[in-house]
Amino acid sequence: MEFINRNLTFTENSIYYIDPDTQETHYIMMDWEKPIMKAHADYICSNGGDILEIGFGMGISADYIQANNINSHTIVECHPQVYNKAQEWAEDKPNVNIILGDWYDVRNFLNAYDGLFFDTWGYNKNGAEFKDIIKYLMRKNGLATWWNSYNKEDNQLGIKADSYDIIPVKPSPNLYFNYSEYYLPKKQF
């Protein structure tokens, strides 16, 4: 079953679904990530300007992005339930534009940005191509970062980062990240 068809459960501390085949709980996002979401957001907003966020999740990073001094905030979200949550969240935020769809499918609706945070969950049709497409989404000197599931100076997206910030974390039990250090990738274009 594709991720966008999963029935998600939203709690104060997490988003998850239970796989009916295995009864395993798959957390999509959890609130222990707050420190690293803040670091991601602060990095891409450090020059202000127009910000692109691919994947809304619990809206943690979106809150931190809004706390910075920026011009606009574009969010791409593929899951219908999360999209609805994002719309509710954005009701009082005039500089937010939310696009429903897989980032690859909607890429032609996107511009170039001063900051970009890529944090998706589940299979996206052309995830392997993101490393080639990202440069078209960035303005000169634009700052990009992305979720990194590896606990080392490497990342599953295959994008060469300029540097990594190492952030101590205490993850709650989950299937997507279980290390005590998070390697936050940073790249300037």
Partner 1 sequence: MAEITVNVTSNRQGSVLKTGSAAQDWDDVINSSSGTTVSSGVNQSIAIRAQSFVDRGSNETFSCTRSFFYFDCSSLPSGATVTAGTFTVNGVGNSGTNAVTLIESNKAFGTNGGSALSVNDFDTAAFEDQFSSDLRGSDTLNTWNAGTGNSGENDFQLNSTAIGKINNSNPKQLVCALVNFNFDYSEDSPGSNTTATNGVYFNTSGNFMPKLQLVYDEGGYGNTINGITPAAAASFDVWQVNQYNLKGSETPLATAVNGIE
Alpha-carbon distances, residue 173 vs 28, 58, 155, 177, 180 (angstroms):
12, 17, 21, 8, 12
Q: Tell me the β-bridge partners of 96.
A: 73
Whether the CB-CB separation of 65 and 57 falls below 8 Å is answered with no
Q: Which is nearer to partner 1, 49 or 121 (CB)?
A: 121
Whether the CB-CB separation of 177 and 188 falls below 8 Å is answered with no
CB of 153 to partner 1, least distance (A): 13
Q: Which is nearer to partner 1, 66 or 155 (CB)?
A: 155
Q: Which is nearer to partner 1, 100 or 157 (CB)?
A: 157
CB of 141 to partner 1, least distance (A): 24
Whether the CB-CB separation of 56 and 34 falls below 8 Å is answered with no
Which pair of tokens denotes residue 64?
Answer: 């931190």
CB of 155 to partner 1, least distance (A): 8
Q: Which is nearer to partner 1, 7 or 23 (CB)?
A: 23
Whether the CB-CB separation of 159 and 131 falls below 8 Å is answered with yes
Q: Which is nearer to partner 1, 166 or 175 (CB)?
A: 175
- Cα–Cα distance, 101 to 145 (Å, whole number): 20
Strands 14-18 and 50-54: unpaired
Binding site for partner 1 (CB under 8 A): 3, 21-24, 26, 28, 118-124, 127-128, 130, 146-151, 155-157, 175-179
CB of 179 to partner 1, least distance (A): 8
CB of 60 to partner 1, least distance (A): 14
